[in-house]
Structure 1
Amino acid sequence: MNQQMNTTLNQQIKTGPIMAALLVAGFVGLFSETALNIALGQLSQIFQVNPTTIQWLATGYFLTLGILVPVTGILMQKFTTRQMFMTSVSLSIIGTIIAATAPSFSLLLVARIIQAAGLAIALPLTQNVIFTIFPPNKRGGAMGIMGLVMLAGPALGPTLAGLILDTLSWHWIFWFTIPFLLFSFLFGLVYLPNVNEIRKVSIDVISVILSTIGFGGIVYGVSVGGEHGWTNTTVLTSIIIGAAALIIFAIRQTKMETPMLNLKAFNYPLFVLGVIMSFITFFNMLSMLVILPMYMQMALLIAAFTTGLMLLPGSLLNCILAPTIGHLFDKYGPKAVITPGTILVAIGYGLYSQFGTDTALWMIVVTHIVMMLGIGAVLASVQTNTLNSLPKRYYPDGIALTQTVQQVAGAVGIAVMVSILSAKETGYLAANPNEHAQAAASGSSFVFTISLILAVVNVVLSLFIKSPSPSPSSSTIKVKTKSAMKTTESINRV
C-alpha cells in the first residue's frame, strides 16, 4: 500500500510544470515591484498629485509585503498548497486588472496593495514547495533558478517598462503581465499538488495585529524618514511603536503553544548567520537598484531608457548563469560559491565608490556585470543554506522569517540610502552652488562607500558558512526507509 501511495505521489509531482507555474507568478510580482518606478513622474502629472504622494505606489507595495509575509507562514500550515497558490495568483490578476483600468490615484494605490498581497503569498510558498519536492542535493539548483527570477524581475522591470512607455501608455505595464499570470494560473491548476502538511492551527489575532503594527510601523517610518527627516516626530514615533510591537510580538510567540512564527528557528546558528547575510545583501542590492540609475541620470545625464539598457547586460548574464551557480552549490558546497560571490560584490562597490562625473560608460556596464554575478552567487545560495539548516517542520516559519527580513531590508535600504544621498547632495550644493552633477556624483560615491563597508562585513561572515549537518530526524527517516525496503523485498520473495 505504501509503495502504491509513493508511486501515485511521484506521478503527481512533475517538478518542471510546478516550477514554471510558481516562478512565472513570482517573476510577474517582482517585475511589478520595480516596473512602475520609471512611470512615477508621468503618473504624478496624470493624476495631479505631488511626487511625495505618488511615491506611495512603490512604498505601499513594500509596506504590504512587510506586513503580510509573516502571516503567510501560518497560513501555509492552515491551508493547502493549491488553495494558497490559487489565492495568490487570483489576487495578482485582480490587482493587475484594477491597476490597468484605474481612473484615479487612490484606486491605483489599492490595486498595488492587492498585487503585493499576491506576491506576499507567492514568494514564501515557492520556497516551501521547492524545499518539499526537491531533495537537499538538488535544492541549490532549484533555488538558483528561483534566484534568476528574483533578480530578473526587479532588474528587467525598469527597462521593459521604459520600452512600453516609449511606444504605448502606462496602462500596458500592467496589461503586459496578464497573459503570464493566466499561464501560471492554468499550470498551477493542472500540475500543482498539495505538498504541505496541514495542521490544526488557529490564527492568533493579537499576533497578527502586533506583527502588522511592528513591521508596518518600521517600514513606514523609514520610508518617510528621508522625506521628513529622521528626527521628525512622526518618523520617530512610527519606528519606536513598530519596534515595541515587534518586541511584544516576539515575547508572545515564545509563550504560545502554536505560535504564528516559530522563533525557535533562531536557535540554529547557521540560520541566524544566513538571516544576517540576507539582510545585508537585500539592503545593499535594492538600494543599489535605485541609487545607481539616479547617479547615471543626475551625474552623467543619461536618459532613463538608456540607463535601463546599460544595466541590462549584467542582469541578463546573471539570469543565464543562475542555474549553473545553483548546481555549483550542490556540487561543491555553500562556501565555495558564497565567499567568491561576496568578494565580487565588494569589488563592485569598491569600483562604484570611485565613480564621478567623467566615468566611462563601458566601466559602468562592466562593474554592473561584476556586481550582478556576485549578487547572483550570494542571493539564492545563502537562502538555500539558511533553510537547509532547519528541520523540515520549521520550513514555513524559516521561509516567512527570511522573506520578511528581505522585504524589510529592501524598504529600509532604499529609504536610508536615498536619505543619505539627498543629505550629501544638499551639503555639497551649499558649498558649491549650481554644480548639480558633481553633487549627485559625490552623494552616490558616499552611499556606495557605505555599501562597500557592509559588503566587506558579508565577506567576513561568509567565512563561517558551512553545509548543515544531517539532522537526527533525517537519519532516522533514512534508516526506516531502508528497513521498509528490506521488509518489502522479503514479502515479495515469499
Structure 2
Amino acid sequence: MKKSYEDIHGKKYNRWLILFVVVLIAFAGTIMQTSLSTALPTLMKSFDISMSTAQTATTYYLLVNGIIVPLSAVFLTRVPTKRLYLILGITQLVGIIMTYFSPNSSWGFFIAGRIITALAVGILSSTMAVIVMNIFSSKELGTAIGLTGLALGLAPAVGPTLTGWILSKSHVIFGLTVSSSWRSMFLPSLLVTALCVVLIPFVMHDVVENHRQKIDFVSVLLSTIGFGFFITGFSNVADKGWGDLSVILPVIIGVVFIGLFAWRQLRMDDPLLDVRLFLNSRFTVATVGTLLVTMAMYGVEMMLPTYLQNVRGMSPLNSGMTLFFGALMMGVMAPIAGNLADKYGVKKLALTGFFILAIGTLPFAFISATTPTLLIKVMYAVRMIGIATALMPLTTAAMTAVAVEHSTHASTINNTARQISSSIAVAVLTSLTQNTTTNALPQHALKIADPLAYGAKSITAAVSGFRVSFIAGLVLAILGFVFVCFIKKQTKSNDVQMEVD
C-alpha cells in the first residue's frame, strides 16, 4: 500500500499527516462552539453584563457560522488548498487571540474575536470531508471520515467539560500554571491552532482541483440574507416564543430568500452551491439521515446539562464530568464506525446506530429528579455510541454518492443541513421544555402559603418539561431508524450505491 500520494502539482504528500492537521485545526475551532455555555456566569461577572448580553457570544458565533457554511464551496473551489488552510488557520488564530486578550471593558472586542473565529471554523468544518475524499482511496474512506468525527462530534461534546475543569481552579499544564480566569478556556484552542499554522506550510498540499469560478454576488447576498434571517428567527424562539414577530418575520424572510437562492442556483451553469445534487436520491437519503441523527443528538445533548444543573443542583464542572464519558465514547466510536461501514455497508451501520440511539434515549423519557447519576452517565454514553455509529456512515454515504468533482458542494450542503437542523432542534426543544414547564408550574399563591410544596412542585414541573424534550429526541431516533429502512440496496461504503423504494 502506498504511504504517499501526489498532489495536483505532482508533489508527494503524506495523507495521514494532512488528515491529522485538518482534524486538529477543526477540533481546536469547533470545541469553542459549546465551551461558552459553561462560562456564561463568569463572563457576566467579568464584563459586568446581563445574561442576554452574554448569550450573544454564542448567538453571533452560530449565526456567522451558519451564514459562511453555505458559501464555503466557492472558497475551496477558487483558492489552492494549502493557501486556503494557511489563511483560515491564521484567521482562526487571530480571532482566538482577540478573544483571549479582550479587555473586560470591551464586550464588543470580545464579540469581534468570536465572529472572526466563526468565519474560519465554518469553512474548516465544511472542507474536511472534501479533503478526505480527495486523498483517500474508496476502501479507506469510511475510516478516514470517521476520524473527522473527532472534530464534528467529540469537540462540541467535550467543550463544556473542558471549560468547567479549567474554570474550577488553577492547573499546571506542561510546567505552566494556568489560572481559572475566563481567558484560560481559550488557551488550549489558541495553542493548538498556533501549532497547526506552523505545520500547514510543511504538511498541507494542494489536493483539490481549482478553477476560477465567477462569484455571483447576487447569490452571495441571497444566501447571506436567507440563512442569516432563518437562523436568527429560530435563535429568538427560546426568549420570545413562537408567536412573536421577532421569530415569525425572520423565519419567513429566511425561507423566501433561501428559496430564491436555490432557484437562482438551478438556473446557473456554474452555481455557487449546486443544489441539483438533491436530484441524486442516494445523496438526498444520506443527507436527510444525517439531518435526523443530528437533531436526535441535540434532543438530549443540549438539554441534559441544564437538567443536571437546574434540577439536580450540579455545578457546571460536575454536570460536564457526568457527560464526559459519553463524549469519550463518541470520540472512540467515530473512527470504528467508519471502519465497520467499510466492511459491512452503510445501511447496516445506520440502522444499528439509530437502534442504539433509541435504546439509549428511552430511559430519559422517564427521567425524574432522583434518577441515579450513574444511569444517566451510562445511558448518555450509549446514546453517543449510537450517534457515532449512525452519523459517520451516513456522512460517508453522502460524500460517496456523488462524483469527486462534486464533493465540495456535497460537503457544503451536508454541513449546511447539519447547521440548520441543529438550530431548529435547539429552538424547538427549548421552547417545548419552557412551555411545558410553565404550564405545569403551581399557582403563585402556593409560594406564599407553602414555600416547600411550591418548590417541590416547581421541580416536578421542570422535570416534566425536560421529559418532553427527551421524548422528542426519542421520536427523532425512531424516525431515523424507519427512514433508513427505505434504503433498498446497500453495498459497502467503498462503492456506496443506494436506491430508495
Residues 122-144 of structure 1, C-alpha deviations (whole Å, 9 max, x = no match): 11221111000011111100011
* Correspondence for 1:478: none
User: TM-score scaled by structure 1?
Assistant: 0.91
Contact kept? 1:148, 1:376, Cα under 8 Å:
no
138, 159, 165: which one aligns with 2:167: 165
1:55, distance to aligned residue in structure 2 (A): 0.9
Question: Which of 460, 465, 469 does residue 443 from structure 1 map onto?
Answer: 465
* C-alpha distance in structure 2 between counterparts of 1:215 and 1:15, whole Å: 34
Alignment identity in percent? 27
Partners of 2:417 and 2:288 lie apart in 1 by: 9
Structure 2 Cα separation of the partners of residues 26 and 162 of structure 1: 21
Q: Does 1:56 align with 2:78?
A: no
2:449 corresponding residue in structure 1: none
CA deviation vs aligned residue, 1:398-457 (integer Å, no higher than 9, x gap): 111111111111122112211211111111114584333222211110111111111101
Return the structure number with greater helix share.
Answer: 1
How far does residue 322 in structure 1 lie from its aligned partner after superposition? 2.3
Choose which of 291, 296, 299 in structure 1 pairs with 2:311.
Answer: 299
Counterparts of residues 35-54 of structure 1 (less than 5 Å): 35-54=35-54
Q: Call closer, same or farther: CA 1:459–1:233 in 2, change over 3 Å.
A: same
Amino acid at match of 1:258: D
| 8 Å Cα contact 2:9-2:206 kept in structure 1 | no
Cα shift readout 1:35-87 (whole Å, capped 9, x = no counterpart): 11101122123222221221111111111111001111112111111122112
Choose the corresponding residue for 2:137, options 135, 138, 144: 135
Matches of 2:58 and 2:418, distance apart in 1? 16
Alpha-carbon distance change, 62 to 174 in structure 1, aligned in 2, over 3 angstroms: same
Q: Is the 8 A contact 2:234 2:247 kept in 1?
A: yes
**TM-score when normalising by structure 2:** 0.90
Q: Does 1:227 align with 2:239?
A: yes
Aligned counterpart in structure 1 of residue 207 of structure 2, from 195, 214, 223: 195
Give CA deviations for 1:199-254 in whole Å, capped at 9, x if unaligned. Answer: 12111111011001111111000001221121111211111111000111111011
| 2:413 is the alignment partner of 1:411 | no
Name the amino acid aligned to 1:120: G
Map of 1:475 onto structure 2: none
Q: Secondary structure at the match of 2:49?
A: coil
Confirm whether residue 23 of structure 1 aligns to residue 29 of structure 2: no
What letter matches 2:152 in structure 1? Answer: M
Secondary structure of 1:353's match?
helix
Distance 1:419 1:384 in 2: 33
Q: 1: distance between equivalents of 2:9 and 2:123?
A: 24
8 A Cα contact 1:81 1:193, kept in partner: yes
> CA 1:335–1:420 in structure 2 vs 1: closer, same or farther (change >3 Å)?
same
Letter in 1 for 2:78: K
- Structure 1 residue 66 corresponds to structure 2 residue 88: no
Unmatched runs of 5 consecutive residues or more in structure 2: 170-179, 447-453
1:339 aligns with 2:359: no
In the alignment, the residues of structure 2 paired with residue 101 and residue 369 of structure 1 have an alpha-carbon distance, to the nearest angstrom, of 36
Structure 2 contact 234–251 (Cα < 8 Å) conserved: yes
Alignment partner, residue 450 of structure 2: none
Task: Name the SS for the 1:230 alignment partner.
Answer: coil
CA distance in 1, matches of 2:146, 2:439: 42
Which among 465, 484, 488 is matched to residue 462 of structure 1?
A: 484
Q: Could you tell me how far apart the structure 1 residues matched to 2:129 and 2:291 are?
A: 17
**Distance in structure 1 (CA, Å) of the matches to 2:442 and 2:258:** 40
Aligned twin of 1:239? 251
CA-atom RMSD, angstroms?
A: 1.9
Correspondence 1:422 to 2:443: no
Which of 307, 316, 319 in structure 1 is aligned with 2:328?
316
Q: Secondary structure at the match of 2:206?
A: coil
Distance in 2 between residues matched to 1:306 and 1:190, nearest whole Å: 41
State yes or no: 1:269 paired with 2:281: yes
Amino acid at match of 2:292: I
Q: In the aligned structure 2, how far is the partner of 1:127 from the partner of 1:319?
A: 17
Of the three residues 340, 352, 360, the one matched with 2:364 is: 352
Distance 1:302 1:209, change over 3 A: same
Instruction: Compute the displacement of 1:147 (Å).
Output: 1.0
Structure 1 141/10 Cα, relative in aligned 2: closer, same or farther at 3 Å? farther
Judge which range, 238-247 or 183-192, deviates more. Answer: 183-192
Query: Which secondary structure does the structure 2 equivalent of 1:171 belong to?
Result: helix
Q: Deviations over 1:243-268 (max 9, x none)?
A: 00011111101111111001111111
Does the CA contact (< 8 Å) of 1:20 and 1:187 recur in 2?
A: no
Separation in 1, partners of 2:200, 2:314 = 42
CA contact (8 A) 2:8 2:209 kept: no
Do 1:31 and 1:157's aligned partners in 2 also have CA atoms closer than 8 Å? yes
* 1:395 paired residue among 394, 397, 407: 407
1:176-215, aligned counterparts within 5 Å?
176-215=188-227
In the other structure, the counterpart of 1:492 is: none
1:324 to 1:160, Cα distance in 2 relative to 1, 3 A: same
Count of aligned residue pairs for this structure pair: 468
Partner secondary structure for residue 303 of structure 2? helix
Deviations for 1:349-393, whole angstroms, at most 9, x for unmatched residues?
211111111101111011011101001111111111111111122
Contact 1:225 1:419 (8 Å CA) reproduced: yes
Q: Distance in 2 between matches of 1:464 and 1:450?
A: 22
Task: Quote the Cα distance in structure 2 between the aligned partners of 1:76 and 1:243.
Answer: 26
Determine the structure 2 residue equivalent to 1:482: none
Q: Distance in 1 between matches of 2:219 and 2:417?
A: 17
Cα distance in 1, alignment partners of residues 285 and 339 from structure 2: 22
**Partner amino acid for 2:26?**
G
Cα deviation, residue 470, structure 1: 5.6
Gaps of 5+ in 1: 473-494
Deviations 1:449-468 (A, max 9, x none): 11111110100112234247
Write the distance in 2 (CA, Å) between the matches of 1:9 and 1:61: 36
Paired letter, 2:131 = V
